[in-house]
Amino acid sequence: MRTTIHHFGEVPPGGLGPADDPFEEKWIYQLRSLAWSAFGNARKVQGDLAAAETAFDMAGSWWEAGSADIGDAFGYEAVLLTLKAPLRTAQRRFPEAIKLLDQAVDLYLDGPPEHRDRHLAGRSLISKAGVLIEKGEAESAILALKKANGLIDPERDPRLLLCLRHNLVDNLSKMGRHTEAAALLPDLQTLAAEQGSTLDRL
């Protein structure tokens, strides 16, 4: 069961800051990096991996220029990492994709306090589990999903929790761990009835 796992960040309620703020140009560079990353992700979805790579190269250049001296103004760094990881997965560069997602998890859990977000760390772990599954490492994927299970906020994204637990049960069963999988089924069935589509419930 797949779900879209992207978080594009937000401009603070007060905007970028005063027009004469000496860091305003750096902030704009960081926004450009985010925009190029979103564009790169769109190109990846279209299957144009070469154009996606070019877009992420641009994103990296803007980020380097925009974060110099002031760091991560809006908490976008983890977002950029999670946007780039699917390209590396599509390119079959699995270790790089996993490294990007691990870095995102670290930032969401242990980065600057104002940018920490346990829920988004959980989302990144679900993405990591997807990469591990494609890489053929189901046991490692199970560990990532179990860790994510304790981080996801069901109030923020109830369907994401459904997808997580579905994938956990699916991978446990494929690994022959049927007793563990069966123990999780009642809660999964309840979630599917409350949050899922007809196909999910099936």
**Which pLDDT score is estimated for 12?**
52
Whether 138 contacts 174, CB under 8 Å: yes
User: Quick one: what percent of the chain has pLDDT higher than 90?
Assistant: 70
Is pLDDT above 70 for 123? Answer: yes
Q: Which fold has domain 75-201?
A: 1.25.40
- pLDDT tens for 52-76 read 999 999 999 999 999 988 889 889 9
As a whole number of Å, the CA-based R_g of the chain is 18
**Which pLDDT score is estimated for 82?**
97
Is pLDDT above 80 for 2? Answer: no
- Mean pLDDT of the region 19-46: 88
First to last CA, the chain: 12
Is pLDDT above 60 for 134? Answer: yes
User: Quick one: what percent of the chain has pLDDT higher than 70?
Assistant: 89
What lies within 8 Å, CB to CB, of 16 at 6+ separation is 24, 27, 28, 31
Ranges assigned E (strand) in the chain: none
More confident residue, 4 or 65: 65
- Mean pLDDT of the region 71-99: 96
Angle between helices 158-174 and 178-195 (to 10 degrees): 160
23, amino acid identity: F
**Which pLDDT score is estimated for 113?**
93
**Which pLDDT score is estimated for 21?**
59
Euclidean distance between CA atoms 197 and 163, whole angstroms: 12
| DSSP 8-state assignment for residue 94 | H
- Mean pLDDT of the region 191-198: 83
Whose CA is closest to 74, among 115, 104, 28? 115
Tokens 């906020």, residue located: 153
Is pLDDT above 70 for 77? Answer: yes
**Which pLDDT score is estimated for 195?**
80
More confident residue, 3 or 127: 127
Whose CA is closest to 29, among 58, 60, 63, 56? 63
